[in-house]
């Protein structure tokens, strides 16, 4: 069965610190997609990144970077030089390719609080 685990419930950092959010997934499929979403206090889920199971290259976008390791079934997210505006709940999610449905399986989220 598919499962996404975000073991960190809450993280608190001071502005300008680097922070890594962990995500571990379970799936029996060889083709799948992983996503990160940000949910600020307004409630809307904001798409950050999509990664397919065949692309293990790390990705960097500004202060954001993602580390995908199939060997450990992990897809971790790092924010460099955190800012107060990064405060939000971050969700990791998994979707299978070619199944009857492409529903997203979400983790329970990590609440990131960045203190000024």
Rounded to the nearest 5 percent, the helix, strand and coil shares of the chain are 5, 55, 40
Residues 73-92 that bind other proteins (CB under 8 A): 91
Is residue 104 a contact point for other proteins (CB under 8 A)? yes
Shortest distance (Å) from residue 80 CB to other proteins: 24
User: CA 88, CA 79: separation in Å to the nearest integer?
Assistant: 12
Give the binding range for other proteins (CB under 8 A) out of 15-23, 60-68, 80-88, 106-114: 106-114
Count of residues in contact with other proteins, rule CB under 8 A: 30
User: CA 46, CA 90: separation in Å to the nearest integer?
Assistant: 9
β-bridge mates for residue 64, sequence order:
61, 79
List the one residue out of 4, 2, 45 whose CA is nearest residue 21: 4
Residues 27-46 that bind other proteins (CB under 8 A): 31-33, 35, 37, 42-46
How many Cα neighbours within 13 Å face the side chain of 45? 12
Is residue 4 a contact point for other proteins (CB under 8 A)? yes
Is residue 66 a contact point for other proteins (CB under 8 A)? no
> Which residues lie near other proteins (CB under 8 A)?
4, 31-33, 35, 37, 42-47, 50, 52, 91, 93, 95-104, 106-109
């Amino acid at each position: 069965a598919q499962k996404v685990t975000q073991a960190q419930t809450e993280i608190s950092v001071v502005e300008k610190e680097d922070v890594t959010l962990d995500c571990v997934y379970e799936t029996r499929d060889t083709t799948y997609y992983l996503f990160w979403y940000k949910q600020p206090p307004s409630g809307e889920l904001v798409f950050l990144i999509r990664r397919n199971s065949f692309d293990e290259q790390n990705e960097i976008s500004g202060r954001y970077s993602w580390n995908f390791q199939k060997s450990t079934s992990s897809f971790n997210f790092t924010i460099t030089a955190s800012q107060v505006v990064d405060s939000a709940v971050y969700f990791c999610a998994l979707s299978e390719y070619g199944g009857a449905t492409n529903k997203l399986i979400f983790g329970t989220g990590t609440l990131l609080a960045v203190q000024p």
